[in-house]
Structure 1
Amino acid sequence: MRNTARWSAILGLTVATCAPLSGAALAAHAAPASLYAPSALVLTVGHGDTVAGATPERAVTLDCATTPSGTHPAVAEACAELRGVSGDFAALTAGNDAPCAKIWKPVVVTAHGVWQGKRVSYEHTFANECVKKATATSVFGF
């Protein structure tokens, strides 16, 4: 009989402890935090011929959902440039006729994450740092 009273007390304590996790609390937790599609990216820069052979030397975050934020040094400019090309990273890294030395010291840039609710996985190899700086916009300027 004592065991029944003891288990009843434990069950009552468990129900009282878990009660805040039911009903309206769960429904409120499941609701989306924003009406805007997420746009959060991790950008990297490294040296090497390919992404598989390059070790990222620098990495930043870029969140362009509503208010630009992240660890990128030019958050507002980078978000504006991405919005200007509708998140098309290939348009950002298109060729440029900058006067750079023809030295092969490849620089690899990557972008992974979500842009306006769609998954993004982008990589590009520049011939050298000069070409990267001349071609790429502020998105990869870190």
Structure 2
Amino acid sequence: MRYLRSTRAATAFAAATGLAFVGTALTGSAYAEPAKPASLYPPSAIVLTLGQGESAATASVRRAVTLDCAPLPGGSHPSPAAACAELAAAGGDLGLLTAIPGNRPCTREWDPVTVTADGVWEGRRISWSATYGNACEMRSRVAEGAVFSF
């Protein structure tokens, strides 16, 4: 079988045989190039919220930001590069970022605060939340990092 090397030859062949190349882009050959992926990076985009209440389902959202990490850090988060670096170091596991107990003294008042993270990390769907007894306790656990500093 002979391959058609130019648009002119393909057109002449089609006219001579009565065939039509409908919907085919001819770019130097009779074969279209394969589709290319939109990006080399899997998506990483997360919505982070801070709410007043005992659970993610019932908390009144007080603050929310977006965090995009791939291909470049961005979003409405105040420190996207630092937050993305922390998430990358933790392998996207937000629980690791808050697993160490804080050393800040806090009162024992019950005024619950819930933080959430919902979105996609390196192509995987994530949904995470944590509830703290009060804002002081929450800051004690997450204040060292950039992810929840918004």
1:133 aligned to which of 124, 129, 139 = 139
- Where do residues 41-60 of structure 1 align in structure 2 (5 Å cutoff)? 41-60=46-65
C-alpha separation between the residues in 1 aligned to 2:47 and 2:131?
A: 17
Which residue pairs with 2:8 in the alignment? none
- Normalising by structure 2, what TM-score? 0.72
C-alpha separation between the residues in 1 aligned to 2:129 and 2:75?
A: 20
Alignment-mate amino acid for residue 128 of structure 2: Y
1:82 aligned to which of 74, 83, 87 = 87
C-alpha separation between the residues in 1 aligned to 2:58 and 2:91?
A: 29
CA shift for structure 1 position 98:
1.9
* Aligned-pair Cα RMSD in Å: 1.8
- Normalising by structure 1, what TM-score? 0.76
Matched, 1:66 2:71: yes
1:36 aligned to which of 33, 41, 53 = 41
Alignment-mate amino acid for residue 38 of structure 2: A
Alignment-mate amino acid for residue 103 of structure 2: D
Q: Could you give the per-residue CA deviations for residues 4-61 of structure 1, whole angstroms, max 9, x where no partner exists?
A: xxxxxxxxxxxxxxxxxx555xx99x64321111110011110001112112111100
CA shift for structure 1 position 129:
1.0
Alignment-mate amino acid for residue 64 of structure 2: A
Runs of 4+ in 1 over 3 A off after TM superposition: none
The unaligned stretches of length 5 or more in structure 1 are 1-21
Alignment-mate amino acid for residue 113 of structure 2: V
CA shift for structure 1 position 133:
1.4
Q: Structure 1 residues 105 and 69, CA, compared in 2 at 3 Å: closer, same or farther? A: same
Q: What SS does structure 2 have at the residue aligned with 1:140?
A: coil
2:122 aligned to which of 108, 116, 127 = 116
The structure that is helix-richer by fraction is 1
Q: Structure 1 residues 104 and 23, CA, compared in 2 at 3 Å: closer, same or farther? A: farther
Alignment-mate amino acid for residue 122 of structure 1: W
- Using CA pairs under 8 Å that are at least 6 residues apart, name the structure with larger relative contact order, 1 or 2: 1
The unaligned stretches of length 5 or more in structure 2 are 1-22, 26-31
